[in-house]
Structure 1
């Protein structure tokens, strides 16, 4: 996979909304995976302090050198995440993406893995897209996208710090 808007669209992703124009009511409620992409003209400028909320009293900010090391200038996908159904079956893409956005606004949450997104000065210019999947396929799909990304670019997307593994 090329991990472009065109290839993601061909693979079933929809949405493709800038974060600052995102209407949560237009996001499907079911489980699935989502990606955060940078627009073609996006140039990274790193904030010294993240806008993200704390998690277990830990500051989500990384040093500029660490951020520069994680940045992949040739990749448009910056993050691949999942949204399961949850133990009560009432979670999904809408809830997870809303938590992701709340986290970027400084609210504490458990979206720790995506914290590097919120240390980009123009994070709200980034684009989010999603793909609904049956709950039973979400973990394997996230793991497959991570593996495909590594096969293409040699490592995980910018804001993915842990490689997903398919759970049996």
Structure 2
């Protein structure tokens, strides 16, 4: 699968909102997968310090060399994540994406895996898309998207530091 807007739209993804213009109330509340994309012409400029909040008192910043080593110049998808319903059934895409955005604004949270996004100077120009999925197939779907990306690009997207595995 190509992780372009066209391919993702054909696969059922919607939204495609620029972070800076994102209205959380327009994001579905159910569980699903979300993808962070860079717009056409986006060139990475890595910040010395991340705008993201701390997690367990750890600074989310990486050295520029480490960020450059993760960057894939030919990939438009920068992160593929999931939003489960949570143990109480009150999580989902809206809450997960809101927490992701809050994290980028410096608030502490547990969205540690995607921290590289917030060390990009123009992170608010990035685009997010989502696809609602049933909770029971979510882990397998995330693992499948990660595997498809690796098949196309040889490794995970820029901000995915851990490959998802389908739970048995």
**Fold conserved (TM > 0.5)?**
yes
Question: Is residue 70 of structure 2 the alignment partner of residue 70 of structure 1?
Answer: yes
Match runs of 1:40-119 below 5 Å: 40-119=40-119
Match of 1:136, SS state, is helix
**For residues 120 and 103 of structure 1, what CA distance do their matches in structure 2 show?**
14
**For residues 2 and 108 of structure 2, what CA distance do their matches in structure 1 show?**
34
1:10-55 CA-to-partner distances (Å, cap 9, x unmatched) read 0000000000000000000000000000001100000000000000
**For residues 120 and 138 of structure 1, what CA distance do their matches in structure 2 show?**
28
Match of 1:85, SS state, is coil
Question: Is residue 19 of structure 2 the alignment partner of residue 19 of structure 1?
Answer: yes
- Deviating above 6 A after TM superposition, structure 1's stretches of 4 or more consecutive aligned residues are none
**For residues 56 and 143 of structure 1, what CA distance do their matches in structure 2 show?**
27
Which residue does the alignment assign to 1:133?
A: 133
1:40-92 CA-to-partner distances (Å, cap 9, x unmatched) read 11000000000000000000000000000000000000000000000000000
For these two proteins, the number of residue pairs brought into alignment is 168
Question: Is residue 29 of structure 2 the alignment partner of residue 29 of structure 1?
Answer: yes
The alignment's TM-score, normalised by the length of structure 2, stands at 1.00
Please give the root-mean-square deviation of Cα atoms over the aligned residues, in Å.
0.3
Which residue does the alignment assign to 2:122?
A: 122
The alignment's TM-score, normalised by the length of structure 1, stands at 1.00
**For residues 67 and 112 of structure 1, what CA distance do their matches in structure 2 show?**
15
